[in-house]
């Protein structure tokens, strides 16, 4: 049974999430899309704005689906599967629209921690919308806005018709998340091919989609940042495992997303890994090819990460014969 692809749509208040979702539902007629949305108000409003094009709309009204104690998100996911198994509904993709005040981390962990959900759903990617007009002040005032960008596989700039070119914002977004390419959207108009089938949670070699475009440190102090570590030497599997365990023990609550491709000593294949907060997975990939130079690339995105300490601990893995 093919797992159902899941797209998580996040972004700060007023970024345009409902506008984008409505546009997708009204233009992608070849896809059957189910929607889970979250609102603060007791009376659902967004499902009326979205219209009736979704296969099913499940509204969570507890104010915040990032609350791990409620279990409301897990219940909604299982309820959708039950309807599928009974033949009551059929859909190809699920979109989860988070409230603007939701932290995506616990939402993503639901797809790692629940056995049935892990089997029947597959996370495709996190799409974070950023209001180009108000983003700089929001990033200054609300660490949550930075967190939403840190979790992203794709960043979508909205209201660019009003804001115009935003080089400082683009630089700041790159500093927060070096993994995620940035696209522009006006009034919900964007090619869905840029948002779907991005395989953001697959163990693949494209750890960093593009090289960072900005090297000057932005004057704003971001609580969230991305660290790209590149190693041109092999590392012992036991040593890298110990380092990762130490990092998770010390900074798991600060880590949002991390991903890597590793050159393991005395192994012909590449080791790929990825994680969200405390939950991670790793697997052997294909063999290194004769025409490629083995190397390691690791990306860590998190809040107030000790960059110097992280770089030093990996630097100490260099074999003595190469020092």
Give residue for tokens 């094009």.
53
pLDDT confidence of residue 130: 96
CA–CA separation, 36 vs 102, rounded Å?
A: 14
pLDDT confidence of residue 163: 79
| Cβ atoms < 10 Å from Cβ of 203 | 18
Give residue for tokens 């616990």.
106
pLDDT confidence of residue 262: 93
128, 40 contact by CB (below 8 A): no
Is the entire prediction scored with pTM above 0.85? Answer: no
102-116 burial string, b = 16+ CB within 10 Å, else e? bbbbbbbbbbbebee
**DSSP assignment of 53-67:** -SS-EEEE-SS-TT-
pLDDT confidence of residue 207: 64
Q: Which residues have CB under 8 Å from 34's CB, separation 6+?
A: 54, 55, 56, 57, 58, 80, 89, 91, 93, 94, 95
Length of the chain counted residue by residue: 323
CA angle 255, 147, 19 (to 5 degrees): 140
pLDDT confidence of residue 189: 81
Q: 143-150 and 104-113 helices cross at what angle (nearest 10)?
A: 40
pLDDT confidence of residue 53: 54
CA–CA separation, 170 vs 214, rounded Å?
A: 9
Q: Per residue of the chain (323 residues), give pLDDT as tens.
A: 789 999 999 999 889 888 888 888 888 667 888 988 875 444 444 444 445 556 667 776 554 544 444 578 888 899 999 999 999 988 889 999 988 888 888 888 888 878 899 999 999 999 999 999 999 999 999 989 999 999 999 999 998 888 778 889 989 999 899 889 999 988 778 888 899 999 888 766 566 554 444 434 444 567 888 899 999 999 999 999 999 888 888 887 788 888 889 999 999 999 998 888 777 788 898 999 999 999 999 999 888 888 898 999 999 998 766 65
Q: Which residues have CB under 8 Å from 177's CB, separation 6+?
A: 149, 150, 152, 155, 224, 226, 301
pLDDT confidence of residue 288: 94
């Amino acid at each position: 049974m093919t797992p159902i692809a899941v797209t998580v749509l996040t972004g700060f208040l007023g970024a345009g999430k409902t506008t984008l979702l409505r546009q997708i539902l009204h233009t992608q007629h070849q896809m059957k899309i189910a929607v889970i949305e979250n609102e603060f108000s007791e009376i659902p409003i967004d499902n009326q704005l979205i219209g009736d094009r979704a296969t099913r709309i499940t509204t969570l009204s507890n104010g915040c689906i990032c609350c791990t104690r409620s279990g409301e998100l897990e219940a909604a996911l299982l309820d959708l599967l039950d309807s599928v198994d009974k033949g009551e509904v059929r859909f190809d993709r699920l979109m989860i629209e988070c409230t603007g005040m939701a932290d995506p981390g616990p939402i993503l962990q639901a797809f790692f921690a629940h056995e049935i959900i892990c089997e029947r759903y597959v996370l495709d990617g996190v799409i974070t919308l950023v209001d180009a007009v108000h983003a700089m002040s929001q990033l200054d005032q609300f660490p949550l806005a930075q967190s939403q960008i840190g979790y992203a596989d794709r960043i979508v700039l909205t209201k660019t018709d009003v804001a115009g070119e935003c080089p400082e914002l683009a630089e700041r977004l790159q500093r927060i998340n070096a993994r995620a390419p940035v696209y522009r959207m006006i009034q919900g108009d964007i090619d869905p091919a840029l948002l779907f089938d991005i395989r953001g949670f697959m163990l693949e070699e494209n750890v960093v989609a593009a090289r960072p475009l900005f090297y000057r440190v932005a004057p704003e102090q971001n609580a969230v940042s991305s660290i790209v570590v590149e190693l041109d030497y092999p590392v012992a599997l036991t040593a890298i495992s110990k380092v990762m365990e130490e990092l998770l023990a010390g900074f798991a609550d600060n880590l949002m997303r991390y991903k890597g491709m590793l050159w393991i000593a005395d192994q012909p294949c590449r080791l790929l890994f990825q994680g969200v907060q405390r939950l991670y997975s790793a697997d052997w990939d294909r063999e290194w090819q004769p025409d490629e130079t083995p190397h390691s690339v690791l990306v860590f995105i998190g809040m107030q990460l000790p960059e110097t300490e992280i770089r030093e601990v990996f630097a100490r893995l260099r074999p003595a014969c190469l020092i």
